[in-house]
Amino acid sequence: MNKNYTFSAGPSMIPAAVLNEAAKGLCNYNNSGFSVMEISHRSPDFEKILSDAESDLRVLLGIPDNYKILFLQGGATTQFSAVPLNLLSGSKKADYVVTGLFSKKAYTEAQKYGDIRLVASSADKNFTYIPKLSRDDFRPDADYVHICFNNTIYGTKWGYIPDTGDIPLVADMSSCILSEPIDVSKFGLIYAGAQKNMGPSGVTLVIVRDDLIGHMREDAPTIFDYKLMADNNSMYNTPPCWSIYMAGLVYKWVISMGGVSAMSELNHKKAKLMYDYLDSQDYYINNVQPDARSIMNVTFVTGDPEIDKAFVKEASEAGFKSLKGHRSVGGMRASIYNAMPYEAVEGLVEFMDAFSKKHPKKEGDR
């Protein structure tokens, strides 16, 4: 193999076609004689980059007209505050489901701003499953319900969209946006940092139903106001130009690949290769409940931290980079986002099999 593949959870792989196009744009944008990074965000060139990104994304995800698309700064983490600041506008109650570290952070942050209830948590089994919830589990007067749709660290995802009735459902989709088709109309708000599946870090996407904006609490920082950002086309201040440009190139690449449903087919094929292999042997263990398995982040352990360490090192030497699991869970994690080619996952599975034969476990290790 002559190429390294990085299985990093984020920042993560960017399609080669996008990187090549960006390299040109960085030096000489559209033969203009200047870099795409040297133009004003108010120039027609940049306005086209922004409006293309928005319209391409609208088509890719089938985003209805009554939803605003915002390109913001501050990462998904900033949305942990921006969501309650904007959406706790009625009863000031919100219901949160904690299925991992990021949803826990979101839940903790929201507590500063209202009556925040923990509806359910999968912490009791180290976040290896997704709770089964129905409408009765949520407070009928809650301003919104918050979930994290794909749990990057634990390798789980919601296999269903919880029925919250009329209560707006808010979802952190940082690590699964554009991986599968989603019915946006089932959500009040979706947010996602770009650096998993939409290019480099620096821009955070917010898709929000238009009746939910315009109610931010008055003492909140102006810059967090979705309404202000929507009214100014995400350009109340200087937007993250480079990240928006890159995200736009990623959207065009997804379109060239056949759109989100084609992407989804490929992602399911890659994930199946990994999980079928994991299920076929007992050297590596995936602890996630089968109906909660993520197709973006695949976690596994050998059960022996020393062997895990050797695995990460030897895999890296063989060109399979960044397979170390998150520090809070250990073991290994293969993040196989949209940009990860099928051949790379095939290569990884072959490597895993060869490694398991080369490093037999001691008796009693399993």
Which CB sits closer to ligand PLP, 158 or 277?
Answer: 158
**CA distance readout (Å), 231 to 58, 114, 166, 214, 234:** 18, 27, 26, 10, 8
Largest distance between two CA atoms of the chain: 68
Q: For the window 80-109, what string marks contact with ligand PLP as x by the rule CB under 6 A?
A: ----------------------x-------
CB of 335 to ligand PLP, least distance (A): 9
In the list 77, 111, 289, 356, the residue contacting ligand PLP (rule: CB under 6 A) is: 77
> CB under 8 Å to 358, separation ≥6 — which residues?
none
Q: For the window 283-322, what string marks contact with ligand PLP as x by the rule CB under 6 A?
A: ----------------------------------------
| 148 touches ligand PLP (CB under 6 A) | yes
CB of 148 to ligand PLP, least distance (A): 5
Among the listed ranges 110-118, 170-178, 225-233, 299-307, the one in contact with ligand PLP (CB under 6 A) is 170-178
3-state secondary structure of 181: coil
Answer for the pair 274, 290: CB distance below 8 angstroms, yes or no. no
| 202 touches ligand PLP (CB under 6 A) | no
Strand ranges in the chain using DSSP code E only, listed in sequence order: 5-6, 67-72, 93-98, 115-121, 144-148, 150-151, 156-157, 169-172, 189-193, 204-209, 297-300, 320-321, 332-335
Say how far apart CA 299 and CA 293 lie, in whole Å: 9
Which CB sits closer to ligand PLP, 175 or 267?
Answer: 175
Tokens of 329: 């869970």
Nearest to 350 by CA among 273, 295, 256: 273
Which CB sits closer to ligand PLP, 29 or 144?
Answer: 144
Q: For the window 149-168, what string marks contact with ligand PLP as x by the rule CB under 6 A?
A: ---x----------------
The rounded Cα 247 to chain-centroid distance in angstroms is 13
Binding footprint of ligand PLP on the chain (CB under 6 A): 10, 75-77, 102, 148, 152, 172, 174-175, 193, 196
